[in-house]
Amino acid sequence: MEKRRSVLKKMIASVVGLSVFGISKDAVASTPADEKVVNNVTTLQDVPLFSGSTKLGNMVFIAGKGAHVEPFEIKAHTEIVLKELEKELIKAGSSMEKVLKVGVFLNDIADYQGMNEVYKGRFGKNPPVRTTVAVAKGGVPGNSLVEMDCIAYI
């Protein structure tokens, strides 16, 4: 048991001393939780539901963006969603090149290739990690064929 604690302490110390997400520890400022900055709060019956973006220290979390317009074609929707993500990132003081993770939610997995054609190259030479899933019954909210969220640094 004591050996396990010692190993755990060493692991924690090495993580703290190294980096987070491949960025130097200086790039991710340690900021008290009370300095969280929340933008674009959506409410439901006057109760906060979710935020469009949240910043904490040098990290920014962008809520899912969808394309709720016609034409209902995956390439057009992907283009709209990526532009919306970029606008939010710029507003937060970041950029597409500083995105660490993207979540992609497709209404239909058959749209995977079309989404990829528009997606590729949009995040610079070192693209972020990505999770892509096709949603089950009901699809992506608001008749969008794709929704994306992301995490970036500033």
Q: How many domains does the structure of the chain reveal?
A: 2
Return the SS3 of 55: strand
| DSSP letters spanning 21-40 | TTEEGGGS----GGG-EEEE
Residues of 76-108 as b/e, b for ≥16 C-beta within 10 angstroms? bbbbbbbebbbebbeebebebebbbebbbbbbe
* Residues 90 and 121 occupy one common structural domain: yes
Q: Tens digit of pLDDT for each residue in 47-60? A: 767 788 999 999 99
| CATH number assigned to the domain comprising residue 88 | 3.30.1330.40
* Residues 6 and 56 occupy one common structural domain: no
Residue 28, Cβ density class (10 Å: 0-12 exposed, 13-18 middle, ≥19 buried): middle
Q: What is the pLDDT of residue 48?
A: 67
Q: Tens digit of pLDDT for each residue in 66-78? A: 998 988 899 999 9
* Residues 76 and 148 occupy one common structural domain: yes
* Residues 103 and 149 occupy one common structural domain: yes
Taking phi first (over 0 means left), then psi (-120 to 50 degrees means alpha), and beta for anything else, what does residue 35 get? alpha
Structural domain including 18 reads 1-26
**What is the pLDDT of the chain when averaged over all its residues?**
81
Q: Tens digit of pLDDT for each residue in 92-147? A: 999 999 999 999 999 999 999 999 999 999 999 999 999 999 998 888 888 899 99
Tell the residue number behind the tokens 């987070």, with chain if given: 20
* Residues 17 and 47 occupy one common structural domain: no
* Residues 19 and 35 occupy one common structural domain: no
* Residues 99 and 133 occupy one common structural domain: yes
* Residues 70 and 133 occupy one common structural domain: yes
Q: What percent of the chain has pLDDT over 90?
A: 58
* The overall pTM is greater than 0.95: no
Distance CA 99, CA 78 (A): 17
Cβ atoms of residues 84 and 91 within 8 Å:
no
* Residues 38 and 101 occupy one common structural domain: yes
